[in-house]
Amino acid sequence: MSKDEDKIKHSKRIHQKESVVKNKMKVAKAYGWQHVLANPHKYLKCSLFSCGNPNCIFCMNPRRAFKEKTMQERKSDDKLKADKNKDE
């Protein structure tokens, strides 16, 4: 790759990150969350709505909260049952 292509890719990555931060700050201002506005890049790779508390019912694993399987586990169980029924 040439250096010009590298510069373009680098600038696109930086622009993308800045756009994400800008949109998240709009949401934070709308909700009035001062802790997010104080350090905007801290929430670049995580959700603003995640409080980080593992005991929070919105942030915790659904198996712990509701004693039910996750969507991925349910899909794999359905596939296994379908394969089992085909063999019989």
At residue 84, the pLDDT reads 86
pLDDT at 51 over 80: no
- Provide the pLDDT for residue 1: 56
pLDDT exceeds 70 at position 10: yes
* Contact predicate 43/23, CB 8 Å: no
Domain boundaries, the chain: 1-47, 50-88
More confidently predicted of 13 and 70 = 13
pTM: 0.56
The 10 Å Cβ neighbour count of residue 77 is 11
For all residues of the chain together, what is the average pLDDT? 85
- How far is 11 from 19, CA to CA, in rounded Å? 12
